[in-house]
A and B are shown apart, each in its own frame.
Chain A
Amino acid sequence: MPAKKLNLRKRYELLTRGMGWETTHHDMDDVFPYDSFEGIKITDWDKWEDPFRLTMDAYWKFQAEKEKKLYAVIDSFAQNNGQTNLSDASYLSAIKLFITGVTPIEYAAHRGFAHLGRHFRGDGARVACQMQAIDELRHQQTQVHTISHYNKHFNGLHDPFYQFDRVWYLSVPKSFAEDAMTAGPFEFITSISFAFEYVLTNMLFVPFMSGAAYNGDMATVTFGFSAQSDESRHMTLGLEIIKFMLEQHEDNLPIVQRWMDKHFWRAYRLLALVSAMQDYMLTNSPLSWKEAWDVYFVENGGALFEDLSRYGLRMPKYHELATAEADHLSHQVWSVFCLLGNATGFHTFLPTEEKMDWLSEKYPDTFDKYYRPRFEHWAKQKEEGTFKYLEALPQLCQVCQIPMIFTEVETDPMQLSFRASEYKGDKYNTCSDGCKDIFDHEPEKYAQAWLPVHQIFQGNCGGATIPEVLEWYKFAPEDGGDYIGSQDHARWQEWKGTDKKVKEA
């Protein structure tokens, strides 16, 4: 038996507080130049405490254990041709969107937290950020390792990082991550750890990983849950940093509230992509977007903000609109992907009859009334051979960078929502009050946005025609378009010897 162990609190103190010191050769403000310009006032960094009291030595031990378990599953998945146990190969569109849209955000978060792990003055906060920096790198790596197995058998998984910096719909997650990374450290951590990880990450990982389990994708379940165990620690860090800022000085409240409002909306808009993954791309969905929103945001987020109300923090602005949009979001997003399916790196497909009935059941107030007609119209056109992809490019929101497909759900769900601002004599279009507020507060930041449609028209994306742009994206001709009739589809039929959907038709 080892010598008597120190208690957790004592160990934590020694291994964090004991690792830092007041500098004497250089002024502390020169050593930590970034943690004061945002206006957040910290009077006592020692009040910072990690509720998990995780120290680096324990961190390595547990992370090593998680990795061993994960890689054992990945190996066995590959050896046993686990890809053949999927519910359907069309499910992989969700994985293609994940590896191109989410995995690079993990890497961006790694970079951001590595910066914070150096630049926060408090040693407790620095250690927590260092661990998170390593976690995020681990997530990116394990996702690449896991999904690389699918890359051996399916199209569209070959260049996620290259594409992240170029592709029209990937500018949505990219701009979200870079918005946070180009802010100061306190705003970054409010954005990533609190608004994204605490308030909204459950919407991404929990239903999605449970969805992977529901669709026979054991590889994704495993990396997802392995990452999620770190995520719980990140969420706790997010809540802790908010409480810490609010407890340190009353002047911090309005700053934190504004960041909360902004980054809640930014993160929520990013999750519009996830809503489509959840409701449409998963062959079998365990939980609809709306159900997940009700459980993880309305109920759970409500409890969180009630708890934080003692500091004067209120629910993020426009949360009511986000809740009202829950009945519409996934349908609007999947519609535009289907219309631009000739320019996606994953396959699109119309919902089957079975799926539409499920959507009617989950969205009794909206699906049949507003959305079923378009899918039925397109299905009829496909049958007749008259379906056409959009020939023009859509208007983009200056802030979230999503095509401006959102509608006035509270007053007229079939009316597009248009907002605009002026800055230095130019016009800037936004999709919602949430995005417009963000633009109006920092117009000089968002005037710099690299909007894919505008960049194509400026001649910066390989050419003026769709094939030229797709080549510049490194989208191979077989990566996008309809799932039915694709190489992925043919391969799947070959393995299965039959095809459920074709048989039904």
Chain B
Amino acid sequence: MRIKTVRSLGYGPLPDGFQMSLDATGLIPLVGPNEAGKSSLLNLLRALLYKDRRNNVREAEGGRLEVEMDDGTVIHAERRGQRHRVFDAQGRAVAEDEWERKLAADYKVFENVYAFGLGELERGESLDAKTVGARLISAGLGVHVDVVKVESTLQLRARELYAPRGVKPPLNVALADIRRLEDEIARGEAELSRYDALQAELAAVEEQASAASDEERQAAADRKRLADMDRIWERFERLRSVMREQAALSHARDIGPELIARFQRLRDQLEASRTRAAAQEERVLQARLALPAPERLHAFRRPEWVAIMEEAREIPDWKRDIDRHRGAAEELWTQMTAESERLGITPERLAAGMAVRVIEPQMDALHQARADARRNTAEAERALSEAEREVAETDALLDGLREIPRREEWSARRARLEALFARPRPAVDGPWFLWAAAVLLALVGAGLARSFLGAVVDAGAAAAALAGLVLSLMRRSARSHDALSAAGVSSWDRLPAERLYWDELGARVTDREQAEERLARARRAVDGARAVLLEARRQQGTAERAYVEGRAGAELPDLEGPELQHWLSRVDDALHTVSQYRRAREQMADVERTRARFLDRAAAAAVLLHLEVQDTHSPDTWWRLRQEWLDIPTREETLRGQEADAEGARTDALRDARLLAECLQDLDVPDAGAAAARVSEALQYEALAREAMGLQAELSAASHGQGVEAFLPYQDVGLEGALEAQRVRFDEIRAARQERQQQAAVLRQRLSLLETSGELSDLRLQAEARRGEARRLYQRWAAYTLAAQVLQESREHFQRERQPEVLRRASSLFASFTAGRYLHVLAQADSVHDLAVELSDGRRYPVEELSRGTQEQLYLALRLAWIEDREQHAERMPLVLDDILVNADPEREQVMARTLVRFAQNRQVLYLTCHPEIERSLKRAKSRKAVPLASLAGAR
């Protein structure tokens, strides 16, 4: 290509209308002073040849260019501002890319290699020799881009996509994501394999939760039960009190209602019998009183009522004792009540509470000892009671046998009666004075007979005989009478009946003996039982005290120091009060027994006192008694009748007494008073039992059917602790249940998630998508890597093959420029950028060490060498040089001028200069005629 004409349409200092015709090859100097438009012409040529936006052309500026291509075609290029147009000789537009292909060098190559000034060279050497070299070499490779930079860019792009040890590049991120997703998928699949185990675990946890729920319900029920129990705790206390009272009356518990009714009936019956017997006795008494005194004396055994009288004299003492015991008992009772109220608790409860706390381990032994002692006492009491009942029964039996004479008396009487009965009844019988009168009469008759019958009969002897006979008879009669009297027989007529009576009485005598013997045994048994009972009670007292002390000690740990001592003293007071109370109750019982005895005895004594008062020998009494005496037969009859009735009544009373005794035996009491007390206790026991039943029903309801047994474990410690423990237990169970349920919920959720969750599917989908993305990134990375690698290999190969030729040409030109000082231009084997030069003596210098002018000459040589090499197969572009020889010394300047002229033989070279010496050098080198720019552009 050569430029035919160039015209300015107003471009920089080049005026509109500036035109230059250059239609020739060879070196054409374009000469002009500063500001003549040399650099503007250079820029205008660039702007006219290339549309490149880097051409800074203002809108009003522009120009036209006519060139002739190597093939002879003429092309026109025109620019107006940023508008660039290329068209052929016929005016047909040529596409920009087609035009650039025709040029075979892009703007950058043209700017650096074809149309450059000293600035480009200077800029190149001052900035970066590598860059300049690379550009030159790139140009040498046949491409118009910076190949090395492309390589770097491709490698950078590849590294931006993936780095083997990188983290942030997207392919690294994608690969990390894939690994993460694969891990999560593996975990999800492992979770799947745990599905069956989870189900089994869920079943187990649900079972545990169910069990915990049941346990919780049970605990709630227990808690409610305890709360209910606590609500009626006072009822339990009452029940305990009742049970203690019952225990105190335990001896009466076996007395059933039938026995009670039987006792009451028998007691009433006995009372009635006794009343009847007493009435009958009264009647007998009256009947006997109606009898003469001896009979009366006989009827009433004086020693008996004397003893009763003696006893009766003690009545005032008894009354005083009663009053004293009652007063003491009431006082003690009052004290105890006050003490208990002051302490706020019952002494028993206090003692019981003490026992459990402190010496609970000892309590079993103490309790056992107390129970043994109580049992021993109860057995002793029962033995005593039995013995006393035996005594009473025997005594009652003896009551009916008191009138029976003892065996000595009966034997004597029976012997006398037998003797009397064996003896012939005396001829005479009568009182001694009758016998005395008969003796007197006999004596008188004997005297008379002696006087009248003296002859015949010795009257005196006869009288004496008669008197003796009478006396004998009288003695016999007297003896007989005495014998009768001694035998207690009033007359011989009554002797058979009396004998019969005494015969019959013999069996009763045996009865009495046996009864007395039995009574003696019973009394000995009573004495023994009392001794045993005393010992048992002593031991029981010891055991009770030990137990009470033990229980008292049980409360000790709650208190300390003075407070403990004070509390202990209070406990002692309470226990003392209890013992006093018990003694008072015993005394009261004694009083009651004494009172009952007194009443019985007093009643009898009152009757006898009345008799004693009346037993005087006043005339009136005697008179009245005489009158009564006359009625003796009748009265005796009446008496016998009354006695029979009395006997019947006694018999009835005895029977009733025996029945009552049997009843008392059944009742296990010594006497009726005790029986009444026992029955009263039994009734009380029964009432307590009913109350206990009611309480037990309440407690059973409150304890939800568990009964009183549910309260027993808490009787000494109360329910508060149990309630709190139950609350804690309930909370624990509920917490455990909730925990189990939460576990079950979590497991169910996990299972449900496993069954319904698309997480695993999502993960697999995400992993697949990520793999797809990674594959694309990998593909892109591979493309960049491959491109960079192939480009590098190609460039290196190309350089190895082509670079020597360029360097050879450059060496030749550079040696010419330097008049043979530098023979070679060298490039490093592994880098085309690091240029060096070699002196004729073989020394080598890197470019950087060359002088400025020499560097410029080297770069010019490289450019020219490359152009020659390139243009073997490409369009020959015009070369535009802007005063590039100014830094050369005159010698080299001339050499370079010649070289340039020679170089311009087949192409167009425009040399712009403002230096006349360079113009002359070019002229001397046979350049074409210089074109004066100033004349073309006109003066400014």
Question: Is B a genuine binding partner of A?
Answer: no
Residues of A that sit less than 8 Å from B by CB: none
Residues of B that sit less than 8 Å from A by CB: none
